[in-house]
Amino acid sequence: MSSYNREILEQHYNINIYERNKQKLLSGGIGDKYLENAKNDDRMSLALLIRIKSSISEKIEKCITELKTIEPNLYYYPKSDFHITVMDILKGESNRTIPQDLNEYIECIKKASKQIKPFKIEFNGLTASDNAIMVKGYYEYELQKFRELLRKLLKEKGLRLEERYKTISSHITIIRIPDKLNNPKEIMNYIEKEYNFGVMEVSELELDFHNWYDTNKKVLALIPLMIIFSYMGFTFRFEYRNINLHIEKFYSQ
């Protein structure tokens, strides 16, 4: 698989995130006070996500089981909450409600999605900030292309975009640190090992209204990506999830 600028992603995961937080991790991390009541966290955001397929989730769960033997009191995400944030459109805030112009956001997302094809993400290795542990993801160019298109379309429509920074990552947050680590060196030794969680093809995006930890979520829209191919001078576009049905009809004619 050919990843989008793997060198930039390696620097992001290994230098910008891990190396910059190494000393804080060695001292136990900074913790996260909101984890005391994660299920009722009311910091809601409008976010475009990628959900993780079971073939990847099962390998992550094995990793989590091993980490629990080192630090049993961390906040471990259930597999139902595993996700990649494509874009935080409206940032997490208390008392936020679903925007009245939601349909305009969905229209922009659908328009951008029609310009890309399904793409793959490779999950390889772990990284950590001062209060979270993540699986590193390496994606094909289509994801970067989509993000740039969506930013442009939202701006043209005059719709708010509250990204804290331009997202380039495709990580999966799997663990949060509620308090100080008891065994920081053991955790860091584990993080620095090599792990291959596999490759996943992304054929659908999910627009959610959810909280910081994804414990409270409402799916607002599912946006399938398009398969595009040419045959005898004609161009065909199908939603990925319906392509088998269309192919069967094509060959039965």
**What's the pLDDT score for residue 36?**
86
In a domain, 132, yes or no: yes
What Rg do the C-alpha atoms of the chain give, in angstroms? Answer: 19
Q: How far apart are CA 88 and CA 108, in angstroms?
A: 14
Q: How far apart are CA 69 and CA 74, in angstroms?
A: 11
In a domain, 189, yes or no: yes
- Does residue 150 have a pLDDT over 60? yes
In a domain, 253, yes or no: no
Residue 201 confidence class, pLDDT cut points 50, 70, 90: very high
The two beta strands, 119-128 and 196-202, are antiparallel
**Lowest mean pLDDT across 14-28, 99-113, 215-229:** 215-229
Residue 188 domain boundaries: 6-226
Contact 154, 104 (CB under 8 A): no
**What's the pLDDT score for residue 232?**
55
Domain count of the fold of the chain:
1
Torsion sign across C-alpha atoms 63, 69, 75, 80: positive
- Does residue 64 have a pLDDT over 50? yes
- Does residue 9 have a pLDDT over 60? yes
In a domain, 133, yes or no: yes
Burial class (CB in 10 A: 0-12, 13-18, 19+), 104: middle
Higher per-residue confidence, 94 vs 248 = 94
Closest CA to 174 of 83, 94, 238: 83
Per-residue b or e along 191-217, where b marks 16 or more CB atoms closer than 10 Å to that residue's CB: beeebebeebebbebbbbbbbbbbbbb
Q: CA 204 → CA 48, 118, 147, 154, 216, distances in Å?
A: 11, 8, 14, 20, 21
**What's the pLDDT score for residue 250?**
38
In a domain, 119, yes or no: yes
In a domain, 184, yes or no: yes
Report pTM: 0.89
Question: CB atoms < 10 A from the CB of 3, how many?
Answer: 19
In a domain, 238, yes or no: no
In a domain, 77, yes or no: yes
DSSP characters over the chain: ---TTHHHHHIIIIIIIIIHHHHHHHTT----GGGGGGGG--EEEEEEEEEPPHHHHHHHHHHHHHHHHH-TTSEEPPGGG-EEEEEEEEEEEET----TTHHHHHHHHHHHHTTS--EEEEEEEEEE-SSEEEEEEEE-HHHHHHHHHHHHHHHHHT-----SS------EEEEE-SS--S-HHHHHHHHTS--EEEEEEE-EEEEEEEETTSSSEEEEEEEEPEEEEEETTEEEEEEGGGHHHHHHHHHH-
CATH number at residue 35: 3.90.1140.10
112-132: average pLDDT: 96
